[in-house]
Amino acid sequence: KSAIEHGLKPIVCVGETLEERESDRTVAVLTRQVQAGLKDVTEGGDLVVAYEPVWAIGTGRTATPAQANEAHAVIRREIEKSLAGAADAIRILYGGSVKPDNAQGLLAEPEIDGALVGGACLNPDSFLRIIRAAGTA
């Protein structure tokens, strides 16, 4: 809330651990995290939400496009509950080991608005391939 009030563009990151995913608690975890992240926020402004499954960060593992799309749909529903009318305007990015070989599939999903690229952006050729994939998704 404070970041928005001061003209900053906050990125609220949410995501479950491998244990939470394997015990079928992803929806509950994302719901709790989005509600906590948007507590006291009254307008979306330039808010961005990133789905970063903890089990995929820096591990080389990534959610399948279908898994990521499902998680993004849960996040969008929770945003709509917290900020009625703002869910379509708030960008929801996927950020779990985005690489050139998985970017196009992830970005083709209807609920995924973009990518939060980590280590893959350190290699210019790799990052360029992700950017090109985004243009064809």
Q: Tens-of-pLDDT digits for all 137 residues of the chain?
A: 888 888 889 999 999 999 999 999 999 999 999 999 999 888 877 899 999 999 988 777 789 999 999 999 999 999 999 998 888 889 999 998 899 999 999 999 999 999 999 888 999 999 999 999 988 75
Place of tokens 């917290």: 82
CB-neighbour burial class of residue 113 (10 A; exposed 0-12, middle 13-18, buried 19+): middle
Q: How far is the C-alpha of 64 from the C-alpha of 11, rounded, in Å? A: 22
Cα 118 from chain centroid (whole Å): 13
- Classify residue 50 by its DSSP letter: E
Cα separation, 104 vs 77, whole angstroms: 24
